[in-house]
Structure 1
Amino acid sequence: MNPNYTLVANRANHRCEYCYAPELVFNFPFEVEHIIPLSRQGKDTNENLALACRSCNLRKSNRISGIDSESNTEVRLFHPRLDQWKEHFQADATSGIIIGMTSIGRTTVSSLEMNSQPQVTARLLWIRLGIFP
């Protein structure tokens, strides 16, 4: 396990800092990932670490940006240390879909495939259990 896991997980309230999935429903700890990957000159510091579920971490990979569907321009992805989740995303309690409210939100939702069928199905269950958002 990453030696920074406890610090990062506590700071994130044990939620994926991208899709907001609650760690408590998984049978293994979430991953500590570099917001700006080391391969892109990110630093190995606590300020550059985020808690990510396996799905978001795999899909983010070493990306830091994507294409916004509305403006068709390159936009940086959500940055958990700089951005507030509720300013960029909204969860629809009926459909389980995460809506990107800004260009950063839309690009992150799309790039990390936050509304894939397995994610939405799980999210609807979490909503019914009262543990999301």
Structure 2
Amino acid sequence: MSTYIPESLRNQIADKDKARCCYCLTSEANSGIPMTHDHIQPISQGGKTCFENVCLACRSCNEFKGDSTQAIDPLTGETLSLFNPRTQVWFEHFAWSPDFTRVEGLTGIGRATVVRLRMNNPVIIVARKRWVVSGWHPPAD
């Protein structure tokens, strides 16, 4: 289901999210991968179209997230909420692997989100290797 997002809200989101995926930090400018607008709390579950509930997500993260708001932490087996980019800090829940090609979950929320969104799928790993060589990855902040 496509939801209308006013241009002013689109601009606010693009500015705040630095034109990159709030989950895997893929940059649209460097990767050429188009960003989509993700409802953190899906509309189907009562989520609203407002700044606090919409963020940029790459097509891959958005599609794998779908209507999910929770996932299982592979370490503990506990069901946890997915990472919320509007209320949580990326670097508190995630880190880059030593070669910068994999997102590693530091917390249960981080691990559950990495698994649910398939943030380390083989296609993105290959792309990240190229981005590292080109000096585009990882993001500085």
**TM-score normalised by length of structure 1:** 0.92
Deviation at 1:28, TM superposition (A): 5.9
Out of 101, 105, 112, the residue aligned to residue 96 of structure 1 is: 101
Q: How many residues align?
A: 133
Equivalence for 1:7: 12
**Contact in 2 for aligned 1:65/1:75 (Cα 8 Å):** yes
Report the 3-state secondary structure (helix = DSSP H, G, I; strand = E; otherwise coil) of the residue aligned with 1:63: coil
Q: Quote the sequence identity (%).
A: 36
Partners of 2:132 and 2:70 lie apart in 1 by: 29
Residue 121 in structure 1 maps to residue 132 in structure 2: no
Equivalence for 1:84: 89
Report the 3-state secondary structure (helix = DSSP H, G, I; strand = E; otherwise coil) of the residue aligned with 1:90: strand
Residue 37 in structure 1 maps to residue 55 in structure 2: no
**Contact in 1 for aligned 2:73/2:108 (Cα 8 Å):** yes
Equivalence for 1:70: 75
Deviation at 1:93, TM superposition (A): 4.2
Report the 3-state secondary structure (helix = DSSP H, G, I; strand = E; otherwise coil) of the residue aligned with 1:32: strand
**TM-score normalised by length of structure 2:** 0.87
Equivalence for 2:59: 54
Q: Cα RMSD over matched residues? A: 1.6
Partners of 1:7 and 1:95 lie apart in 2 by: 29
